[in-house]
Amino acid sequence: MTAVDTLIPATRAAPRSRRSAAWSAFRAIVARDLTVLDSNLQRFVPSAVMQPLLLVFVFTYLFPAIGMSVGGDAGGQRFSTTLLPGVLAQSILFVGIFSVGMNLIMEIEADELEDRVLAPAPIFTVALAKIVAGALQALLAALIVFPIAAFLPASGIRLSTDWAVLLTIMPLACIASASLGLLLGVIFEPRSGPWLFSVIALPLAFFGAVFYTWDALDPTPFIQHAVLVNPLVYMSEGLRAGTVAGIGHMSLLSVYGALLGFTALFTLFGVRGFHRRIVK
């Protein structure tokens, strides 16, 4: 009886100890990546801001100033209002992809993940920590870009914040972009890293409902349906629903469903690929 009693606490304590170790390792990995971000903040901010700043400046400030506003004065305001959530979504996607994907490609090549993989936690914990750290960086980029995209346009923007939508869509978009970065990071070899921009990022941007709404593609039904495989479409449309007024957007049910589905798929295949690359 005494032997049985002494064995029961030991068998129950072991799983709790493993979970605690995994959680501690997860937090340490996220904290490490955020510490690296803090030390490189002077490079992170320009890289996150430059492209959105140029897009907003040229299309919504410079063009109207020289009489080339898209669609005239009224059309210029509508275009600026359409562009704001698109630029936010694009910033989230690009930072999520590159902060996780490109860094992961370089870390795998340089064997820099060995210390984190040896932590007392499953390998998938390291992959999930990379997603969380990347999502936080994408969120930071969105917070930096938003005031620029909202107040720089010459024609003004019809802001109308739906906080319930914004506070759910934005974190979901950040996690989706970081999980896509993880997947791309384990697919691409270091020598083909530059393809990440030319082959993946640019098509995603131009067919991601950044400069136009998804409904505006009605005259081209083939393209309208083809772009539905692009997660940026749902990020842009969801952020339109959460940030601006007077602009149509896709059904929120479709937006949430697609982003949740993409996030699950990217995470599942990204974690599996990460495990294979690390073990290899």
* Predicted pLDDT of residue 231: 97
The model's confidence at residue 13, banded by pLDDT at 50, 70 and 90, is very low
How far, rounded to the nearest angstrom, does the alpha carbon of residue 166 sit from its chain's CA centroid?
Answer: 15
Which range is least confidently modeled, 116-125, 185-194, 203-212, 213-222? 116-125
Q: What is the DSSP string of 49-114?
A: HHHHHHHHIIIIIIHHHTT--TTHHHHHHHHHHHHHHHHHHHHHHHHHHIIIIIHHHHHHHTTTTH
* Predicted pLDDT of residue 8: 47
* Predicted pLDDT of residue 69: 64
Quote the tokens at residue 159.
């802001």
What gap in Å lies between CA 115 and CA 101, rounded to an integer? 19
Q: Could you tell me if 181 and 106 are in contact, meaning their C-beta atoms sit under 8 angstroms apart?
A: no
Q: How do residues 43-56 score in pLDDT, each as one tens digit? A: 888 888 888 888 88
Q: Which domain holds residue 84?
A: 20-279
Inside any domain, residue 169: yes
Directed axis angle between helix 41-56 and helix 123-151, to 10°? 50
Inside any domain, residue 3: no
* Predicted pLDDT of residue 264: 98
Inside any domain, residue 215: yes
Inside any domain, residue 13: no
What gap in Å lies between CA 167 and CA 264, rounded to an integer? 19
Q: Could you tell me if 234 and 262 are in contact, meaning their C-beta atoms sit under 8 angstroms apart?
A: yes
Q: Considering its fold, how many domains does the chain have in total?
A: 1
Inside any domain, residue 7: no
Q: How do residues 198-256 score in pLDDT, each as one tens digit? A: 788 889 999 999 999 999 999 999 999 999 999 999 999 999 999 998 888 999 999 99
Which range is least confidently modeled, 13-17, 110-114, 222-226, 273-277? 13-17
Inside any domain, residue 128: yes
Inside any domain, residue 4: no
Which range is least confidently modeled, 14-23, 30-39, 62-71? 14-23
Task: Report in angstroms the alpha-carbon separations of 253 from 162, 165, 173, 240, 241.
Answer: 15, 11, 15, 14, 12
pLDDT at residue 196 above 90?
Answer: no
Inside any domain, residue 164: yes
Report the percentage of the chain scoring pLDDT > 90.
45
Report the percentage of the chain scoring pLDDT > 70.
84
Q: Which residue has the tokens 């270091």?
A: 190
